[in-house]
Amino acid sequence: LNKRKIFNDPVYGFVYIPYEIIFDIIEHPYFQRLRRIQQLGLTNYVYPGALHTRFHHALGAMHLTTEAIEVLRSKGAEITEEESKAVCIAILLHDIGHGPFSHTLENSLLPVSHENLSLHIMQKLNETFAGKLDLAIQIFKNRYEKHFLHQLISSQLDMDRMDYLNRDSYFTGVHEGVISYDRIIKMLAVDRGKLVVEAKGIYSIEKFIIARRLMYWQVYLHKTVISAEEMLLKILQRAKYLGLKGENLFASTPLRLFLENKITEADFYNNEEYFNAFMVLDDYDLFDAIKSWMNADDKLLSFLCRRLINRNLFKVSMESKPFPEDKMNDFRKKAMEFFGFNEAESKSVVFTGSTFNNAYSKDLEPIDILYKNGKTMDIAEASDQLNISVLSQPVVKYYLCLPKEILH
């Protein structure tokens, strides 16, 4: 390359492609596919600007990684060009295993975790690229001696989180998620092989943890988003049920494969056809099918699809305790009467679930603060005023979804 390739990014201005192999990976159909998978699924039903893709996020996280590497080097950390390239590849591909609405998909069509899939795809790409991803894979799997390189791509302060908070704030317009990512990155350092933050950056880290928490409650776990995603799950579960029964539903070829076959994780890895189908599956297959299913013969399926497409979503209540079973049964009876569903079907229109969030986890590797005297301390202890400890308590919320027609 005589001129470095640039991507336009409203969040950072420009994103440079630092290595030729990075550009080649981006051009690969596996990576281009991420252009067709939205980062936040159905969140745009609440925040209409939230249409950004996993493609853009992956580029952004890579951009922050190059900045972090530069800072660490300027403070004396030894990072070779090969290592730098490998970290960039690893962060670029850290989410490559995501399918459309991936958490939903895992619970309906395809029971394979996206982390395992990311690794699997990286290995496939490594064959294509003649072993050039070896080191990236080692770092991704945390098998490389310089632990801090892994922390850049996967930890409580990784470039993944850093980018998604920035990006999700920008596209949703929820300023509560805005973080001083540039300041945080400037404060990174390596201490005894681990990624640490200089003490000066403590307020920025506090704000980062709080911002993440606020984003959880305002965006990621927003009750309308939960409603839409749960409805999508019920739709896919119903479609799979019908598909396995042999009903002929409209679907693209790859989607049909996942609807009409019972697939275990083992099946998936043993059958190239499944893998190839997955690698062309995206938001378009699902949404085009759901639009068609508005006219499906199956009453429950068409009921759910019409409501989802026309944004006539189920109402959601949230509580700090589980909803009692008898209350659920009352509502289900109402749904059976009102809409004419049978008992089994009624469980797809009146249902509960729970969400979980902790802004900072004490079970994971801590964010360490580095003081001028050379000592380090977990942010949860270092931050005596804000009491990050309090934030590290997990918060569980229970929700109940149902059509508003049966509310009264």
Residue selected from 163, 229, 230, 285 as contacting a copy of itself according to rule CB under 8 A: 285
Q: With CB under 8 A as the contact rule, which of the stretches 93-101, 135-143, 304-312, 360-368 interacts with a copy of itself?
A: 304-312
Residue tagged 């530069």 (tokens): 70
Q: With CB under 8 A as the contact rule, which of the stretches 133-141, 270-278, 344-352, 383-391 interacts with a copy of itself?
A: 383-391
Q: How many binding residues for a copy of itself (CB under 8 A)?
A: 74
Distances from the Cα of 83 to the Cαs of 1, 27, 137, in angstroms?
A: 20, 22, 11
Helices (H), 179-264: 181-186, 202-215, 223-244, 253-260
Residue selected from 126, 224, 237, 252 as contacting a copy of itself according to rule CB under 8 A: 252
Nearest to 233 by CA among 294, 308, 295: 308
8-state DSSP, 118 = H
Helix (H, G, I), strand (E, B) or coil at 246: coil
Answer yes or no whether residue 385 interacts with a copy of itself by CB under 8 A.
yes
Q: CB of 407 within 8 A of CB of 399?
A: no
Mapped to the 3 state alphabet, what secondary structure does 32-58 carry?
Answer: HHHHHCECCHHHHHCCCCCCCEHHHHH
Instruction: List, as own/partner pairs, every contact residues 9-14 make where C-beta atoms lie below 8 angstroms and the sequence separation is at least 24, other chains included.
Output: 9/56, 9/59, 9/60, 9/63, 10/170, 11/60, 11/163, 11/166, 11/167, 11/170, 12/60, 12/63, 12/64
Which bin fits 195, alpha (ψ -120 to 50), beta or left (φ > 0)? beta
Please state the closest distance from residue 131 (CB atom) to a copy of itself, in A. 24
What is the x/- site pattern for a copy of itself, positions 11-30, by CB under 8 A?
x-xx------------x-x-
Residues 194-223 that bind a copy of itself (CB under 8 A): 203-204, 206-207, 210, 213-214, 217-218
Radius of gyration of the CA atoms of the chain, in A: 23
Answer yes or no whether residue 234 interacts with a copy of itself by CB under 8 A.
no
Q: In whole angstroms, what is the distance from residue 401 CA to residue 408 CA?
A: 14
Residue tagged 């000592």 (tokens): 375
Please state the closest distance from residue 125 (CB atom) to a copy of itself, in A. 15
Residue tagged 């050039």 (tokens): 132
Whose Cβ is closer to a copy of itself: residue 184's or residue 195's? 184
Please state the closest distance from residue 282 (CB atom) to a copy of itself, in A. 8
Answer yes or no whether residue 172 interacts with a copy of itself by CB under 8 A.
yes
Please state the closest distance from residue 333 (CB atom) to a copy of itself, in A. 27
Residue selected from 9, 24, 106, 378 as contacting a copy of itself according to rule CB under 8 A: 9
Please state the closest distance from residue 28 (CB atom) to a copy of itself, in A. 9
Query: What number of other Cβ atoms are within 10 A of residue 259's Cβ?
Result: 20
Q: In whole angstroms, what is the distance from residue 27 CA to residue 235 CA?
A: 33
Residues 354-373 that bind a copy of itself (CB under 8 A): none
Answer yes or no whether residue 54 interacts with a copy of itself by CB under 8 A.
no
Whose Cβ is closer to a copy of itself: residue 28's or residue 141's? 28
Residue selected from 94, 114, 161, 186 as contacting a copy of itself according to rule CB under 8 A: 186
Answer yes or no whether residue 224 interacts with a copy of itself by CB under 8 A.
no
Please state the closest distance from residue 136 (CB atom) to a copy of itself, in A. 22
Please state the closest distance from residue 289 (CB atom) to a copy of itself, in A. 8
Residue tagged 């409580």 (tokens): 156
Please state the closest distance from residue 60 (CB atom) to a copy of itself, in A. 10
Bridge partners of 370? 198, 376
Q: In whole angstroms, what is the distance from residue 36 CA to residue 359 CA?
A: 29
Q: In whole angstroms, what is the distance from residue 168 CA to residue 280 CA?
A: 25
Whose Cβ is closer to a copy of itself: residue 270's or residue 317's? 317
Residue selected from 103, 124, 291, 347 as contacting a copy of itself according to rule CB under 8 A: 291
Residues 92-151 that bind a copy of itself (CB under 8 A): none
Please state the closest distance from residue 401 (CB atom) to a copy of itself, in A. 19
Q: With CB under 8 A as the contact rule, which of the stretches 45-53, 108-116, 131-139, 265-273 interacts with a copy of itself?
A: 45-53
Residue selected from 390, 396, 405, 407 as contacting a copy of itself according to rule CB under 8 A: 390
Residue selected from 20, 49, 73, 142 as contacting a copy of itself according to rule CB under 8 A: 49
